[in-house]
């Protein structure tokens, strides 16, 4: 299990009444709120649709709540993190989405883990990094290239297919028909399929691209999937199928604290932020935002 690295001056005990917002669409709506109320005695629990989450988090922050819990997927967690960055209110991640990558990175894999993190005796507060691009935050990763297109195609297919199958079909179509893009990486040109920017260092294997060992080292993990190598598309497809993406000759890796990505002849570009697609103006200025977010974790 991955966990947040701990420094001696980064933790403090829980004090006061927190609030937990539950996305009614993320689980069985007739049981989710009651179950969460049983798990978080002494704190408030209420339903909140995703469209109203940002406003509710701001209101809880204005009330000086010790923490705001969000029961939902990584997209909802990202919204909460963006609003709580550089404030005295901590974020409590309650795993209730499809993948819960960020929750796992914090050592919160079950509702029991989240309840322990919110408990006065079982939990504590720590500070972690956020990734930032043009003023927008991300907790896991961001990317430009074929992945934003994959997300958009996946959502279109989800009307008729299960999400895993929709993702697989969308990924295959992007690999076979996705267009290359010309980018400037810190003023150096490159032809790429994808630029991936992680908040913290990910592992080398394809399976490790969902986990991290540390979230407070102030580092961005940049993976550049080159499209200007011989047989680049075929080599990328075979690397994905064989689980050797990190060792593929079409993939370059660098770690840094900041990087600028410009897209030739584009004033705006689709950018994936923790699995959701937004449109941002170019150039894209990525940077690590060290110790920007307070989080509740089990001791």
Residue 4 located in a structural domain: no
**Across all residues in the chain, what is the average pLDDT?**
82
Q: Are residues 277 and 162 in the same domain?
A: yes
What's the predicted TM-score (pTM) here?
Answer: 0.82
**pLDDT tens across 176-233, in order?**
555 678 899 988 899 988 898 999 998 765 555 567 878 999 999 998 988 887 666 6
32 and 124 both lie in a single domain: yes
* Mean pLDDT calculated for residue range 50-55: 94
In this structure, is residue 7 part of a structural domain?
no
- Count CB-CB contacts under 10 A for residue 25: 12
What lies within 8 Å, CB to CB, of 79 at 6+ separation is: 50, 53, 54, 57, 70
- Say what the pLDDT of residue 160 is: 62
Q: Which domain holds residue 152?
A: 138-290
Check residue 89 and give its pLDDT: 96
Domain count, the chain: 2
Q: How confident is the model at residue 102 (pLDDT cuts 50, 70, 90)?
A: very high
Rounded CA gap, 172 and 283, in Å?
A: 28
Q: What is the pLDDT of residue 14?
A: 58
Q: Taking a C-beta distance cutoff of 8 angstroms, is the pair 92, 18 a contact?
A: yes
> Does residue 9 carry a pLDDT above 60?
no
Is residue 5 situated within a structural domain? no
Clarify whether residues 177 and 104 are in a common domain: no
Q: Is there a contact between 180 and 193 (Cβ–Cβ < 8 Å)?
A: yes
Q: Can you tell me the mean pLDDT for 246-263?
A: 86
Residues 123 and 155 reside in one and the same domain: no
């Amino acid at each position: 299990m991955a966990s947040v690295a701990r420094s001696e001056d980064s933790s403090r005990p829980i004090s006061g009444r927190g609030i937990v917002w539950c996305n009614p669409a993320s689980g069985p709506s007739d049981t989710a709120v009651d179950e969460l109320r049983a798990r978080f005695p002494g704190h408030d629990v209420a339903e909140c649709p995703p469209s109203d989450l940002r406003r509710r988090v701001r209101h809880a922050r204005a009330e000086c709540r010790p923490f705001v819990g969000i029961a939902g997927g990584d997209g909802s967690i990202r919204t909460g993190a963006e609003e709580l960055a550089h404030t005295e209110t901590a974020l409590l991640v309650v795993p209730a989405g499809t993948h819960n990558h960020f929750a796992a990175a914090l050592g919160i894999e079950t509702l029991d883990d989240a309840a322990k993190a919110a408990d006065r005796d079982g939990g504590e507060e720590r500070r972690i990094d956020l990734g930032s691009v043009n003023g927008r935050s991300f907790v896991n990763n961001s990317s430009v290239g074929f992945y934003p297109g994959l997300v958009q195609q996946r959502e279109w297919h989800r009307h008729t297919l299960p999400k895993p199958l929709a993702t697989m079909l969308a990924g295959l179509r992007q690999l076979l028909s996705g267009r290359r893009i010309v980018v400037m990486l810190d003023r150096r040109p490159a032809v790429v399929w994808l630029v991936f920017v992680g908040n913290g260092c990910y592992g080398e294997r394809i399976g490790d691209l969902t986990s991290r060992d540390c979230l407070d080292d102030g580092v961005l993990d940049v993976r550049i999937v080159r499209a200007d190598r011989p047989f680049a598309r075929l080599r990328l497809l075979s690397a994905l199928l064989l689980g050797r993406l990190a060792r593929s000759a079409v993939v370059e890796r660098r770690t840094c604290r900041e990087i600028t990505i410009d897209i030739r002849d584009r004033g705006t570009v689709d950018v994936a932020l923790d699995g959701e697609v937004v449109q941002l103006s170019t150039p894209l200025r990525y940077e690590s935002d060290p110790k920007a977010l307070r989080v509740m974790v089990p001791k």
